[in-house]
Amino acid sequence: MKLYGFPLSGHSHRAELFLNLLELPYEFVPMSLAGGKHRTPEFLALNGFGEVPVLEDGGAVLSDSTAILVYLAAKYDDSGRWLPRDPLAAANVQRWLSAASGKIAYGPAAARMVTVFGARIDHEFVKGVAVRLFDVMERELEGRRYLVGEHATIADVAAFSYIEHAPEGGVPLKPYPNIRAWLANVRALPGFVAMPATQAGVAPEQV
Ligand SMILES: N[C@@H](CCC(=O)N[C@@H](CS)C(=O)NCC(=O)O)C(=O)O
């Protein structure tokens, strides 16, 4: 398998983390986003949206981080543990995959885009999205080790990266003990790999 990614992208890290949790061998192909490698005709042929991550598995080419998690779980996890088959549990996992592509992407991930990559978006607005999301997560994680059920699922993998790195975007995690405990539970999973930490405000040309 080949994973086209960018080491400081949380979307990319979701896929990388799950490949490692499943102990699947893969080659990481680093894409320089600042260098525009994701806008070349060759890469656009893999993902017309010109975004990482992209996974190649034999003849299959897939893009979108949560789609990649679904694919890997459905194809390589025979236990059904990471992507539950029970209808209610599956729907609850999907709820967090939607949050990963919605409130997480437009909240903590967007706030980090401002400080780390200099994105020109309204920092206060996206920090507000993050805080409202974290207030809900903090309540829902009360007494729970993982987001859905008794063990880790792809919901946890999808949500983890940008939430762990939220402080880089100016959204502190200190007020959220349940979220911090949940992050520690994900970090403790066998095979866990971290996304590199950044100094908030790193100049775009350095990445
Ligand atoms: N919905 C996509 C979003 C992926 C995404 O936004 N990737 C960013 C990096 S974090 C990217 O490749 N951006 C390049 C660009 O927009 O020019 C996913 O979940 O994979």
Q: Please say which residue of 76, 107, 130 terminates a domain.
A: 76
pLDDT at 52 over 50: yes
Atom of ligand 1 nearest to the CA of 33: 14
Here the CATH number for the domain that contains residue 58 is 3.40.30.10
Residue 200, in any domain of the structure: no
Residue 150, in any domain of the structure: yes
Residue 193, in any domain of the structure: no
pLDDT at 54 over 70: yes
Residue 82, in any domain of the structure: no
For residues 71 and 40, membership in a common domain is answered with yes
Mean per-residue pLDDT, 128-134: 98
**Which tokens sit at 124?**
């206060």
For residues 121 and 173, membership in a common domain is answered with yes
Q: 3-state DSSP: the chain helix, strand, coil percent, rounded to 5?
A: 55, 10, 40
For residues 154 and 119, membership in a common domain is answered with yes
Ligand 1 atom 2: residue of nearest CA = 64
pLDDT value for 199: 76
Structure confidence by residue, pLDDT tens digits, 151-207: 999 999 999 999 999 999 999 999 999 999 999 999 999 999 999 998 774 444 433
Residue 179, in any domain of the structure: yes
- Please state, rounded to an integer, the average pLDDT across all residues of the chain: 95
d(CA 57, ligand 1 centre) in Å: 20
For residues 53 and 98, membership in a common domain is answered with no
Name which residue leads in pLDDT, 34 or 170.
Answer: 170
Q: Which of 4, 9, 11 for a ligand 1 pocket mutation test, highest count of atoms within 8 Å of Cβ?
A: 11
For residues 69 and 93, membership in a common domain is answered with no
Q: Residues lining ligand 1, CB < 6 A?
A: 6, 9, 11, 33, 38, 50-53, 64-66, 101
For residues 94 and 183, membership in a common domain is answered with yes
CA separation (Å) from 23 to 18, 76, 128, 132, 192? Answer: 8, 10, 37, 35, 10
Mean per-residue pLDDT, 99-106: 98
Give the residue numbers spanning the domain of 33.
Answer: 2-76
Structurally, how many domains does the chain consist of? 2
